[in-house]
Chain A
């Protein structure tokens, strides 16, 4: 349906077009969204736990976690509120390297990201392994600010950005695909921006 009197003044250049998923617009800033107040997690209080169901597999403190191999990842990110930001530059520990650090193979097909504030989000394990996702510790070379999920956030750039949980403190392998915080509140279980899977019921 064409809207009377609306014209595409903001249409991005064609070379950028192919990088913007359907229904998204290009954002230069870095908007902040969250369901509650920003937790201030000190690195001396920070820890990261890998779990299989309720059972902890391995736990790292900040220093131990930072000793894992660091990888750089520069990716476009897509928020379900319709902004897309190009070339965000992160550095952190690949989930693959966390698994290697724990000496295990992924034990189940699904993963739940766990945060300090109780936030959770679910992703298939194959979407966070094989170099696809990391626990980010730096943004543009600097510690991630609390607003953007510091000290550490998950980065799963090929899915809508609510999957990239802020204030991460663990990953839990689950037998079933267990819906997380927003997935229980009407958002899509998988969240592929290229298929525009914003809300439950989207194809």
Chain B
């Protein structure tokens, strides 16, 4: 692999310029860096909050926006009830607030148009966020690389970026969206209503003109373990699969 060492930047102050609710539990925060911020689709940032007594909390969040999207970066943050950083964003943060950010970080779970494909993306819940950056990058570059996203959510209303994804799917430009809902009936003919499995992966890969040359899987550890195993059972070589796992 040709991933070079990323030049690592120190902490910088960023300003919240926009807030957009995506689903009941996920809200996007648009951040304006104070210094130039070049990144690749799939990378993440560290965010740091500081209390008046000096206590600091930091968490990593994937970037949802495409590198081509301009000055601001989008983080789509899921509210975790027992969290300490995500509740700040959901309950307190307002446009104009400043937080500290470091990045971009991570040189493995990244994809550029020039890396080619076909590309298979598998996301569970907020695990779709770094995959969304890749899909948006692909669209922004008007890339011809065939790509499919298998996106598992509990219910239709928790499908993050739903309208945008369906809009990209409708273009029929080589991007295919497959949704699977684990607690509701499927809404579209191509969609499923169960947890990801090998049969779903075989059928989703059949939507690509050739077997995937790269697969990216992101979500909770349980989701990633199940999805990566489903891909292997569907015949995808383990060496082509890159994973990113959230939490416990």
* Complex-state Cα separation, A36 to B217, whole angstroms: 9
Contacts of B46 in A (CB 8 A): 82
Given contacts A36-B238, A199-B8, A200-B5, contact A8 B55 (CB under 8 A): yes
A16 within 8 A of B: no
A31 within 8 A of B: yes
Does A10 lie within 8 Å of B60, measured CB to CB?
A: no
Contacts of B228 in A (CB 8 A): 36-38
Tell me whether chain A's interface is mostly helix, strand or loop, or mixed: loop
* Complex-state Cα separation, A2 to B98, whole angstroms: 9
Does B57 lie within 8 Å of A25, measured CB to CB?
A: yes
Contacts of B88 in A (CB 8 A): 3, 5-6
Given contacts A2-B50, A7-B52, contact A118 B105 (CB under 8 A): no
Given contacts A4-B97, A6-B49, A82-B58, contact A34 B92 (CB under 8 A): no
Does A36 lie within 8 Å of B221, measured CB to CB?
A: no
Listed from nearest, the 10 A-B pairs whose CB atoms lie closest are A185-B107, A8-B55, A29-B248, A37-B228, A186-B6, A199-B8, A8-B51, A5-B92, A3-B49, A201-B8
B143 within 8 A of A: no
B7-25 vs A, Cβ < 8 Å mask (1 yes, 0 no): 1100001000000000000
Contacts of A36 in B (CB 8 A): 228, 238-239, 241-243
B145 within 8 A of A: no
Does A6 lie within 8 Å of B92, measured CB to CB?
A: yes
A: which residues have CB within 8 A of B?
1-11, 23, 25, 27, 29-39, 81-82, 117-118, 147, 179, 181-182, 184-186, 199-202
Contacts of B245 in A (CB 8 A): 31-34
Please, which residue of chain B has its CB at the minimum distance from the CB of A186?
A: B6
Contacts of A30 in B (CB 8 A): 248
Does A31 lie within 8 Å of B221, measured CB to CB?
A: yes
Does A6 lie within 8 Å of B51, measured CB to CB?
A: yes
B100 within 8 A of A: yes
Contacts of A82 in B (CB 8 A): 46, 58-60
Chain A min CB distance to B122 (Å): 11
Chain B min CB distance to A167 (Å): 12
Tell me whether chain B's interface is mostly helix, strand or loop, or mixed: mixed
Does A9 lie within 8 Å of B8, measured CB to CB?
A: no
Q: How many residues of B contact A (CB 8 A)?
A: 47
Given contacts A32-B221, A35-B108, contact A8 B53 (CB under 8 A): yes
B: which residues have CB within 8 A of A?
3-8, 13, 46, 48-53, 55-60, 84, 88, 92-93, 97-100, 105-109, 221, 225, 228-229, 231-232, 238-239, 241-243, 245, 247-248
Does A10 lie within 8 Å of B57, measured CB to CB?
A: yes
A-B contact pairs, 11 of them (CB 8 A): A1-B100, A2-B50, A2-B51, A8-B51, A10-B84, A35-B242, A36-B228, A37-B231, A37-B243, A185-B3, A199-B105
Chain A min CB distance to B142 (Å): 28
Does B248 lie within 8 Å of A186, measured CB to CB?
A: no
Contacts of A199 in B (CB 8 A): 6, 8, 105
Contacts of A10 in B (CB 8 A): 55, 57, 84
Contact of A35 among B60, B243, B248 (CB under 8 A): B243
Please, which residue of chain B has its CB at the minimum distance from the CB of A5?
A: B92
* Complex-state Cα separation, A184 to B5, whole angstroms: 5
Contacts of A5 in B (CB 8 A): 88, 92-93, 97
Contacts of B108 in A (CB 8 A): 35, 181-182, 185
